Amino acid sequence: MKLCFLWVDRFKNLANLSASFCSEYQYAFDSEKKQLTRFAKPPLPDSRLLEPHLSHISGVLGANGTGKTTLLELICLVTKAKDDLNSNYILIYESEGELFYYSSEDSNKNLISSFEIQHSHGASHLEQLNVIFFSNVYDDGFLNLGSPIKDISVNRQARYFGKEENDKSKFIQDLDFIKSDAFRYLRYPSPRRASVKIDPQFWSRYTNRDLNHEDYSVIRKLRDIYSIKRRARISVKEHACVVIKLGVLARIYADFYSDASVSHIFQKNLSDEDNFTPDLDLLMIELIKGFENDHPSVANMLSLLRDIDEMFEMVNLKEERRYRNYQINFTIALKRNNLSAFEGIVALVHIIPRANMQWAELSSGQRAYVNLFSSVWNALADSRDTDALVCIDEGDLYLHPQLQVEFIEKLVRVMPHLTHKEMQIIVTTHSPLLVTDLPGQCLTVLTKDKNGLTQAKQGGKTFGANLYDIYRNTFQLDNQRTGNLSQDYMTSIIRLLDKEVLMDADIVDLTASLNIIGDKLLRYHIEKKLNAYQQQAGIMGGQYD
């Protein structure tokens, strides 16, 4: 399935806007005549640009404030949350080789068309479509897209899950993607080590719980055991084992202390105040028996906990840095032959408050790529057998220019392997580096008219184009080739070049400008002016000899 065209009467700052999202045709809608028209775009070369399961990729470009994110929001809503919209709109899409249109108003259900198209009464095709929204933008803004849309944006994850829980969940998602066959299409080596940080102050998370004195005594006992172990000058591996065992046990108790049988097991094994080092293994064995029937997942977690020492032997634990506040910081290796142990440690660390994991040897840009693709991979985990529309808002944000160069290629090469069916991608960007990988037939350029309303037009010849031409024609920079500061400075230098008589201060300024100006043509004229001045000064000097 492929989204081809969208017209909206009004939505936020978009008014009477027509936008096409396919490379074959440019569509338009006349709201007064109730007429759909289209004209053929110049054909693209053969399919070497696209992977077999990638039905189309489109770019939405424009200066700040033109409504790129708003257009993506509208696309998400008209495809999956139509009832939440009060706007009048028309949507054209292609399914199994046939063209359909869906209209939000009855008055637009019998349109005049210059081409063959069917009216979709119930938009059943759209109901089966997976719609995913991803954004790297992290700010105070928030799009309430509704539950049918899989919103995996940074803003939403941070808002609903908090940074700590989001970071933990993201690491597990990353690991799922790295283990998959799709990861190899990213053409990055698998991360070799992960960094683990555990703050022992996680005990404070349990002080505010509704625990009576007897209940809290168990938490206090576990904390005291940790304090004794820590002062015994144990190795970093022993330290890590102790803090994970006690951290997981504390979390289990805090979650199940109201269960009389669970509370009894803890109280029985930890009640001896004279025994400062009780047998934690015995405690775990009894807890496993108590949980295995009603809470098998907790029993499995405790079984992992009993094997923590052996798992650390398999993952080559290395201390990364020692902190004065006794924060535990170490790395563990990820290999094919220790995957089970690695995943076990990840699962245990995941449930401890104030603990997190990160990939130790990936650059920030590589992590951004893994984050994008793992987020989409996991969003499609339960629905890989249906078509997908992925809307990406400034996914290249924060990427180094070298990684921006790869962005469209990565999307084209990796995304189709995240699903078994067709996938369409619509991406917004400010980067001309991305635009050079998108033919004009695949671009929608947003501009503002004199009344401040957003207009959409097809992109120009951007594929492999000069970066300055893209800036000028696409991002409304007119004839400006540099930043404002350098532009003003060079303008002042040009004024000096236009002067017939130069003062001594002018010569100093022109000479100094050669130390910073990079424009070759302007440098040539500065040097020419200075040489002429020096020649004239030599002649004048000879008259006084």
DSSP string covering 436-503? TTS-GGGEEEEEE-TTS-EEEEE--S-TT--HHHHHHHHS--TT--S-HHHHHHHHHHHHHHH-SS--
The distance from CA 200 to its chain's CA centroid, rounded to whole angstroms, is 31
Q: Flag residues of the chain having pLDDT under 50.
A: 540, 542-545
pLDDT at 473: 65
What is the DSSP-derived secondary structure letter of residue 516?
Answer: T
Q: Are strands 318-319 and 328-333 parallel, antiparallel or unpaired?
A: antiparallel
- Alpha-helical segments (H) within 94-196: 124-127, 154-179
Count the Cβ atoms, other than its own, within 10 Å of residue 160: 10
Q: What is the pLDDT of residue 544?
A: 32
Rounded Cα–Cα distance for residues 262 and 520 (Å): 78
- Beta bridge partners, 319, equal 330
How many Å apart are CA 27 and CA 421, to the nearest integer? Answer: 26
Q: For position 545, what pLDDT does the model report?
A: 37
Which pLDDT score, from 0 to 100, does residue 542 have? 42
Domain residue spans of the chain: 2-160+366-474, 193-359, 484-542
238-259 pLDDT, tens digit each = 989 999 999 999 999 989 988 9
The pLDDT value recorded for residue 478 is 60
Q: What strands, in cross-sheet order, belong to the sheet with 112-113?
A: 25-30, 35-40, 112-113
Provide the angle, in degrees to the nearest 10, between the axes of the packed helices 260-270 and 236-256: 140
254 CB neighbour count, 10 Å cutoff: 17
Contact 271, 222 (CB under 8 A): no
pLDDT of amino acid 393: 94
The phi, psi pair for 295, rounded to 5°, reads -135, 70
Buried b (16+ CB within 10 A) or exposed e, 237-252: bebbbbbbbbbbbbbb
Handedness of CA 226, 232, 235, 238 (dihedral sign): negative
* Ramachandran angles phi, psi of 445, nearest 5°: -105, 125
Taking the C-alpha atoms of residue 507 and residue 355, their distance in angstroms, rounded to an integer, is 62
Measure the CA–CA gap between 533 and 511, rounded to whole angstroms: 12
Q: Calculate the alpha carbon distances from 541 to 460, 533, 538 in Å.
A: 58, 12, 5
∠ Cα 52 79 130 (to 5°):
45
pLDDT of residue 160: 59
C-alpha of 492 from chain center: 42
Q: What is the pLDDT of residues 188-217, one digit of tens each?
A: 899 999 999 998 788 777 765 555 656 678
**Domain covering 2-160+366-474, topology:** Rossmann fold (3.40.50)
Q: Can you tell me the distance from the alpha carbon of 6 to that of 497, in angstroms, rounded to the nearest whole number? A: 53
